[in-house]
Amino acid sequence: MTTSTSSVVTLKINGESHTLTVDHRTTLLDALRERLDLTGTKKGCDQGQCGACTVLLDGRRAVACLQLAVAAEGRAITTIEGVAEGDRLHPVQQAFLELDGYQCGYCTPGQICSALAVLEEHAAGWPSAATADVRPEAGAPALTDEEIRERMSGNLCRCGAYTAIVRAVARAAGEQSGESGTVAA
Ligand code: FES
Ligand code: FES
């Protein structure tokens, strides 16, 4: 029921529609975790600082703790629960698994969602703050360790698994782009 402080929203999450009534102040993160039982998305700082709650909105990464659930209506929301295809892990997940890109695993869903977007952004030729030549004609920069670190810098890992995370993202980039030789792990 819609009131002055709440609304009925339909959220499209991992291809499925979920209709629920939310208080207008409910964040997307709380809607996912507390209302829809999608607890793969983690709450770390709850103030946009750590990246633990990273999800994809229309393919772009967003921190779910700074998004209101009502504002996410009509967007395609992808959470970590929607990344694998059945029992088949996404290459990014597989790389994190095989290369130990985690310790406690709390930051991992956010790291993986972020990495998915990093690969898309890089494939689309987007520069980062670590890109030396940002002219459009320079083309996409090589996905070096420095590029990966910069592009993943919004995702903190309190276990300090950064070296393995960089390696995992590099491995996934190689599997997807066939350029595994461009990154030194
Ligand atoms: S919980 Fe959202 S950025 Fe930390
Ligand atoms: S693996 Fe523990 S916080 Fe990143």
Residue 99 sits in the same domain as residue 172: yes
Q: Is residue 27 included in any domain, yes or no?
A: yes
The counts of H helices and E strands in the chain are 5, 5
The CA 14 to ligand 2 mean position distance, Å, reads 24
Amino acid found at 174:
G
The Cα–Cα gap between 54 and 42 comes to: 8
The Cα–Cα gap between 167 and 81 comes to: 23
Total number of domains constituting the chain: 2
In the numeric block, which tokens belong to residue 95? 């790389």
In this structure, what CATH number is given to the domain that contains residue 177?
Answer: 1.10.150.120
pLDDT in tens, 75-132: 999 999 999 999 999 999 999 999 999 999 999 999 999 999 999 999 999 999 999 9
The CA 97 to ligand 2 mean position distance, Å, reads 13
Indicate which atom in ligand 2 lies nearest the CA of residue 158: 3
Token look-up 């950064």 returns 162
Say what angle helices 162-177 and 91-98 make with each other, to 10 degrees: 140
- Around ligand 1, the residues with Cβ closer than 6 Å are 43-46, 48-53, 63, 65
| DSSP classification of residue 68 | B
The Cα–Cα gap between 97 and 127 comes to: 28
Domain that holds residue 22: 6-82
pLDDT in tens, 58-72: 999 999 999 999 999
Among the candidates 82, 108, 130, a domain finishes at 82
The CA 173 to ligand 2 mean position distance, Å, reads 21
Q: Is residue 56 included in any domain, yes or no?
A: yes
Indicate which atom in ligand 1 lies nearest the CA of residue 45: 4
- Tell me if 97 CB under 6 Å of ligand 2: no
